[in-house]
Amino acid sequence: LQPLPPSQGRNYVFGNFSLIVNYDPVLAQAPHIDLLAPNYQFGLMLTDMSPGTLFHEPTEWKEDSGGTAAYPAHIRTVGALLHTWRAQGCGEPPTKLVEALEQESRVRDLLTDYGDVLAPYALLSKNMRSRPSLKTGSLLSLPGSVVHAGPRTSGFRAVIFFSAWPEGSEVAEYDPDTQYTGVLLSAQLVCLMWSQVGVGEAERRYLLSVLATHIEDCHVKGMWTHFDQGEFSECIHRLERGQFPRKTPTRSAYLDSCAKRPALCGSWVPFGRGPDTVDMRGLTRVSADGLWTMWDNAAYEVVIYRRRDGRVILHYPFWKDAKTGKEFWEGLDHGDNYRLEMDDADDNDNGRRLFDGTNGSLMSTEGDVIQCGTRKRPAATKRRLVNSEESSSNQRNRINTARKKRASRR
């Protein structure tokens, strides 16, 4: 499709070789972006007269009958995304949502890399191109950051896939498990914005309506399986099937009810970057040194960080997984909503007050007050470290049991 640009004078490293085989007829993939520029991907055709990869050729701005632009050629900025939403008929985005989107750096990064998949599905399909009948030995190349999809096939098809990236490049190598479709990227935007400051019921309702549009337009179903099991995955599943609870029998009524649930979206992050991977950007430490908290009549040192959305997460630096060595965090699971409410006081720590167990309340998702302190630990307990010989499964079971028994009295 496109050769490597010789003018760049760079050496490329080749890897990720794999054999892709379809034995039976299959539908085309959902349009997606997986690898990014300046990476390239290749397909060496093994079966004769097979279709090549579908790839998107974006058009320039189109004009409607009123002479105004309908859709941008690329969706790589918040402005282009907002214009697309309006052109899709999603209505005018709430002002507070626009402000929150513009202030969130992760949204800007996602749009820069993957935003083109958020174009309307009909528009993407209309501008998809392919080589319908390729001979055995044909070699296709496609640059990164281009929307593409595996083609529809009527029978057996085999392709050797591989990718290339510039030697010494800072761009990450191709990760075959990272693949953004319009549904998945729209869902991540929902999760990122769900609990941001200024984002309320109206803003959430708008985001859900955009997501619902992507779900209904996409011919590939089962996207809900990419999400952590919980309320959000159930929401995706119901939107895919078009089946809603009796109390909210229509899509509109169901989205209204979902928008009223603050815990609908947890901290879902796609493609395996789960709770054990914590991005420290945007986190502010809000606890004093030596803070401890109680679990199952034992005291553990804890560090509390506040997120940009106001919620807090708890880090246990001396509690590690026996097998992986990863430190334990609390407050990252789907539906977790820990809060730290500080008392009104004048004393501070270098101008910034830190929670020490006496000047505020740490609240669990259920609203219970979690016992904390920095003074002398309870006489009957000492800091207990995880036994390095204990299995991860036993460790997790004990953690879950301890969480249920956590003291709720200060």
Instruction: State pLDDT tens for residues 104-123.
Output: 888 998 999 899 999 998 88
pLDDT, tens only, 141-164: 999 889 999 899 988 999 999 988
Residue 213: φ, ψ to 5°: -65, -45
Which contiguous run of DSSP H or E holds residue 361?
strand 360-363
User: What is the mean predicted confidence (pLDDT) over 359-370?
Assistant: 86
Residue 298 lies in a domain: yes
On the question of pLDDT at 403 being above 70, the answer is no
Residue 300 lies in a domain: yes
Residue 357 lies in a domain: yes
Least-confidence region, from 112-121, 133-142, 173-182: 173-182
Range of the domain at 334: 283-374
pLDDT, tens only, 232-270: 889 999 999 999 999 999 999 999 999 998 878 754 444
Rounded Cα distance, 70 and 84, in Å: 7
Residue 178's pLDDT is: 67
Residue 233 lies in a domain: no
Confidence of residue 367 (pLDDT cuts 50, 70, 90): confident
pTM of the model: 0.64
Closest alpha carbon to 51 in 18, 29, 33: 29
Residue 250's pLDDT is: 94
On the question of pLDDT at 271 being above 50, the answer is no
User: What is the mean predicted confidence (pLDDT) over 384-401?
Assistant: 41
372-373, strands of its sheet edge to edge: 298-301, 292-295, 372-373
Closest alpha carbon to 34 in 108, 113, 129: 113
User: What is the mean predicted confidence (pLDDT) over 279-293?
Assistant: 77
On the question of pLDDT at 390 being above 60, the answer is no
- Cβ partners under 8 Å of residue 222, min gap 6: 240
What's the one-letter identity of residue 47? T
**Torsion from C-alpha of 32, 33, 34, 36, nearest 10 degrees:** 170
Q: 350 or 259: whose pLDDT is higher?
A: 259
Cα–Cα separations (whole angstroms), residue 120 to 89, 125, 174, 213, 384: 11, 9, 26, 9, 54
pLDDT, tens only, 299-323: 888 889 887 667 788 888 777 666 6
Evaluate whether 143 touches 33 at the Cβ level (below 8 Å): no
What does the angle CA 347 – CA 349 – CA 355 come to, to the nearest 5 degrees?
Answer: 80
pLDDT, tens only, 59-89: 655 544 454 557 888 999 999 999 999 988 8
Q: How far apart are the first and last CA of the chain?
A: 66
Residue 304 lies in a domain: yes
Residue 109's pLDDT is: 87
Domain count, the chain: 1
Rounded Cα distance, 222 and 113, in Å: 24
Residue 87 lies in a domain: no
Average pLDDT over the chain, rounded to an integer: 78
Residue 34 lies in a domain: no
Beta bridge partners of 19: 160
Q: 19 or 3: whose pLDDT is higher?
A: 19
Confidence of residue 37 (pLDDT cuts 50, 70, 90): confident
Residue 133 lies in a domain: no
Residue 320's pLDDT is: 67
Residue 405's pLDDT is: 47
